[in-house]
Structure 1
Amino acid sequence: MSTSHRQPDPNEVYRRYLSSVVLHAQAGARACDLGATDLYALNILELSGAMTPGELGARAGLTTGPTTRLIDRLEEAGYVRRAPDPGDRRKVIVEPIGKPAGLDTVLAPARRKIGDIITGYSAEQREVLFDYFARAAEAFQQAADEMER
């Protein structure tokens, strides 16, 4: 009797991975008393720096009204502030000024576990992984932009 091991379906593996990332982000947001979009917007600002409300809304996939409410919530919580745009004082930019106090604690277990996985790879394998992450992030952004058009 032969036992054959079915190779995992790469599409299924990848979909499970993406679903897990999204579910973790949602759980992290809830643990910090934030909505998932609020935490996502804070991440955008932390990674990219200050930007106009329109830019933030576009990157978060929101229209004008929800973007305004998002910024209001984040401003009231002390995570962002609206400031005059130094390049054009008629415009406003949204600046990150804080993050939820417990965010690093909430995210620490996943960061540690993923760090352990990554350090298990050779330097060459890590180079491939990080190349993939960078290129995949750009591909996802481009695909999202195409969907918006």
Structure 2
Amino acid sequence: MTQPEPIDPAAAVGLGREFATALVVFHEAVGRLLGLSAVERKCIDLLKQLGPVTAGAIGERTGLTTGAVTRLIDRLGKAGYVERVPDPDDRRKVVVRLLPNERMDALMASAFIPFGEDLAKVMANYTEAETRVILDWVHRTTEVLVANTRRIEHQQH
């Protein structure tokens, strides 16, 4: 049985950079469909996942500073995607709620349904064990990205 070739660290970094660039460019393109930046679009995605949350929760999940989150919510509110409302559990707090938007839903579907179908085809090439490793990598890499986003944001202030 032959051993697999060792992974070239420089090639791995290059592939990671290529992947990250493709991911950011894809999300920028989806954002442009909605008239938003990638960060604004991802904030909408976050609100779809979590439901109404405080600005602080958005900051915790994105790694953005309080000021950056406030400006982000202001832009999304002005564009008609979100609104600030009293927290139903604690009326002293305000939460950010995603507004219904059929146009946004249709544009998101036009971008993500084909993307999801293509990813399903890619994942069909892997065994269950390989898929678990891939998902573990995605999970761990996401944690590293969030932590480093927070680190960089805090360096700026």
TM-aligned CA deviation for residue 71 of structure 1: 2.1
* Counterpart in the other structure of 2:28: 26
- Structure 2 distance, partners of 1:135, 1:10, is 16
* Counterpart in the other structure of 2:114: 109
Structure 1: give runs of 5+ residues left out of the alignment.
Answer: 1-6
Q: Is the 8 A contact 2:65 2:153 kept in 1?
A: no
Number of aligned residue pairs: give it: 143
Structure 2: give runs of 5+ residues left out of the alignment.
Answer: 1-6
Of 87, 103, 119, which residue of structure 1 is paired with 2:89?
A: 87
- Structure 2 distance, partners of 1:143, 1:65, is 18
Q: Is the 8 A contact 1:84 1:90 kept in 2?
A: yes
Residue correspondence of structure 1 range 66-145 to structure 2 within 5 A: 66-98=68-100, 100-101=104-105, 102-145=107-150
TM-aligned CA deviation for residue 134 of structure 1: 1.4
Give deviations 1:84-130, integer Å, cap 9, x for gaps. Answer: 12333122100223351311112233222222111111111111111
TM-aligned CA deviation for residue 17 of structure 1: 0.5
1:10 aligns to what SS in structure 2?
helix
TM-score (norm: length of structure 1): 0.79
Q: Work out which structure has the larger RCO, using CA pairs closer than 8 Å and 6 or more positions apart in sequence.
A: 2
Amino acid at match of 2:145: F
Q: Once superposed, what is the RMSD of the aligned Cα atoms? A: 2.4
TM-aligned CA deviation for residue 58 of structure 1: 5.0
- Structure 2 distance, partners of 1:34, 1:146, is 25
> Percent of pairs identical after alignment?
31
TM-score (norm: length of structure 2): 0.76
> After alignment, is 20-29 or 103-112 more displaced?
103-112
TM-aligned CA deviation for residue 23 of structure 1: 0.5
Amino acid at match of 2:34: C
